[in-house]
Amino acid sequence: MTLYKALTIAGSDSGGGAGIQADLKTFQMLDVFGTSAVTAVTAQNTLGVHGIYDIPLEGIERQIHAVLTDVGADAAKTGMLSQPQVIELVADCIAKAGLTRLVVDPVMVAKGGASLLAESARDALREKLLPLAAVVTPNLPEAEVITGLKLSSLDDMKKAAVVIVKEMGAGAAIVKGGHYEGAPTDVLYDGESFHLLSAERYETRHTHGTGCTFSAAVCAELAKGRTLLEAAHTAKKFITLAIRYELGIGGGHGPTNHWA
Ligand code: PLP
């Protein structure tokens, strides 16, 4: 059996629902060996983010170097990168390593409102990281910040996806529609055509870590050599079940169910 490997470069969520914890659980469920480079540690539970502690740049670089020079990675993803210098460092490491199956989840703000990316880092995200991405997976508010467009329809989401690919240089974009009311339809644009990923909406407050989980599932499938379209469909199924079969953990926004 071939063993596939994926690296997540992201923040730690002590509550186990988002960040590297969500990524590693997702990799495991999709039969991919997971490794991690932690960019920041959050003190967090289902009620919110209670502290953020950035890892020094040298520590981030050494984690990535340690993983890539020994274990290796068939694909990688980025999550919470916190500061502009972290984005620059991570972009540099990825470019030097020649990692092409890169999923960029442009994490900006937690559902509870805590900022997970400094505003001053937004230019670095657009200029340094997006051009290296095989696919970028913004939710609606993130796509609005990245493109500067106001998004209120599927057509708007398509326009944002085109801007991210054609103007910002990403290989593909999946603009996620979970923040809309109604069916949570995502728009995938690969530079040539559009594909819609649809699912039924399930009403629940337990959606903490959905973005991390979805992008980790795309990353795991890319690691296995699946096409982006196959990876996106598998990830959509994975996240839909993870939301549908809620665990009900904690008194606030609980984690999705990676076992589902
Ligand atoms: N904490 C960390 C470390 C994350 O990477 C993320 C993900 O985006 C979050 C929290 C936010 O999770 P959510 O907005 O789904 O609650």
State residue 46's pLDDT score.
97
Q: For 84-109, write each residue's pLDDT tens digit.
A: 999 999 999 999 999 999 999 999 98
Distance of CA 99 to CAs 72, 138, 166, 195, 224, Å? Answer: 10, 20, 21, 25, 14
How far apart CA 242 and CA 260 sit, in angstroms, is: 5
Q: Where are the domains of the chain?
A: 5-244
Q: Which CATH class is domain 5-244?
A: alpha beta
Mutate to test the pocket of ligand 1, among 8, 13, 78 (most ligand atoms within 8 A of CB): 13
Tokens representing 73 are 């990675």
Distance of CA 23 to CAs 98, 123, 197, Å? Answer: 22, 25, 21
Atom of ligand 1 nearest to the CA of 107: 8
Tokens representing 249 are 């953990």
Q: What's the whole-model pTM score?
A: 0.97
Question: Is pLDDT above 90 for 1?
Answer: no
Question: Is pLDDT above 80 for 181?
Answer: no
How far apart CA 218 and CA 237 sit, in angstroms, is: 11
Cα–ligand 1 centroid distance for 208 (angstroms): 7
For the question of residue 212 being annotated catalytic, the response is yes
Cα–ligand 1 centroid distance for 102 (angstroms): 19
- Which residue out of 8, 35, 137, 207 is catalytically annotated? 207
Atom of ligand 1 nearest to the CA of 207: 15
Q: Which helix (H) or strand (E) holds 17?
A: none
CB of 42 sitting under 6 A from ligand 1: yes
Q: For 193-215, write each residue's pLDDT tens digit.
A: 999 999 999 999 999 999 999 99
For the question of residue 256 being annotated catalytic, the response is no
- Length of the chain equals 260
Distance of CA 156 to CAs 52, 145, 152, 163, 196, Å? Answer: 34, 13, 6, 11, 13
- Which residue out of 77, 211, 219, 256 is catalytically annotated? 211
